[in-house]
Amino acid sequence: MEFILNRRPTTFNGDEQTPLLWVIRESAGLTGTKYGCGIGMCGACTVHVDGEQMRSCSVPVSSVAGRSVTTIEGLSSDTSHPVQLAWIKLDVPQCGYCQSGMIMAATALLKKCPKPSDAQIDEAMSNLCRCATYHRIREAIHAAAN
């Protein structure tokens, strides 16, 4: 099956029920997308599919046939995306494990809602962070929105 991964046509010849996360990490070698829970709860595996956030652990790769998938590596070539710059400026990560998923969720939110309120951020950002960086994440989203 074929899909677009970070703007490049990609072919996957394995089991089409393989979770998208493992195709991204194992077949494509893009390890910025993380495995946390494997059941769609934590958001560490968040990517964009046709611009919408999706938890890649919970969908078979067949569900993205012909669609466009973007991972953290595809956001920008040099971490110059405004959300990444805000994350760096506000020193958001602690351990960092969940942060690529957080950034993917935040960029999807800002695309839909360029100036989100705190309530809109809290509603859209259901990803989990064990270091509880939620306050800095919210601040960085506001900063990126300006």
Interface ranges with ligand FES (CB under 6 A): 35-38, 40-45, 55, 57
Q: Where are the beta strands (DSSP E) in 1-146?
A: 2-5, 8-11, 46-49, 52-55, 68-70
Closest approach, Cβ 127 to ligand FES, in A, equals 8
Residue nearest to ligand FES (CB): 57
Closest approach, Cβ 105 to ligand FES, in A, equals 11
Q: Give the residue among 128, 33, 137 at the shortest CA–CA distance from 75.
A: 33
Cβ distance to ligand FES smaller for residue 17 or 77: 17
Cβ distance to ligand FES smaller for residue 39 or 78: 39
Strands in 8-11's sheet, in edge-to-edge order, are: 8-11, 2-5, 68-70, 46-49, 52-55
Cβ distance to ligand FES smaller for residue 33 or 84: 33
